Amino acid sequence: MRESIFETLVGLAVLLVAGVFLWFALARGGDAAPAADSVELGVRFNSASGVDRGTDVRLAGVKVGTVRDIALDVDRAEAMVTMVVDGRLVPMGDGTTARVQSESLLGGSYISLEPGEGFGEIIMCENGETLFDGSGCGEILYGQGSIDLLTLFASFASGNGGETTE
């Protein structure tokens, strides 16, 4: 009798801890309202593999935002990624690059922003303009998609990695 009460109490404690973790995950995830000083930026990738809503956006290794949305541009066969980033980053030079990076060989990805000077600045959307509407507002021009590591390793294993023919 005494053991069954102990087992019941341990089970309730486990359920309570699991409930707290679930509550925390639901409270932190989802469509949280962006901070008042945040801005939306967009970038197009040829491959956004490993990027989902909520994926970190980092600058110099520091988290500066998250991915809000991912859509497919059927005409151009590209992934259109909308990010919400800290407003202190703008204005950005139009030579800025966004790159999908792997956190480790075991998985996990993030988008790395690399500031770069260009001929001007990224113009933020105004007056009814939206990201990816053809105006180019708020769009990072240079995006490098994710690299499939298995394909890369296979190319090196087959002897095709890095060799040039003369």
pLDDT at 28: 61
What pTM, to 2 d.p., does this model score? 0.68
pLDDT classification of 163: cutoffs 50, 70, 90:
low
Question: How many residues comprise the chain?
Answer: 166
Helix (H), strand (E) at residue 132: none
Q: How many CA atoms lie within 13 A of 54 on its CB side?
A: 8
- The tens digit of pLDDT for each residue in 64-90 reads 999 999 999 999 999 999 999 998 888
pLDDT tens per residue across span 89-100: 888 888 899 999
Cα separations in angstroms, 64 against 2, 3, 67, 129, 131: 53, 51, 11, 24, 19
For the chain, which residues make up each domain, given as ranges? 1-30, 38-149
pLDDT in tens, 10-66: 888 888 888 888 777 766 655 444 566 888 999 999 988 889 999 999 999 999 999
Q: What Å distances lie between residue 62 and 48, 65, 80, 127, 150, CA to CA?
A: 21, 9, 23, 32, 28
d(CA 55, CA 83): 9
Q: What is the layout of strands, in order, in the sheet containing 107-114?
A: 139-140, 38-45, 78-86, 62-73, 56-59, 107-114, 97-104, 142-144
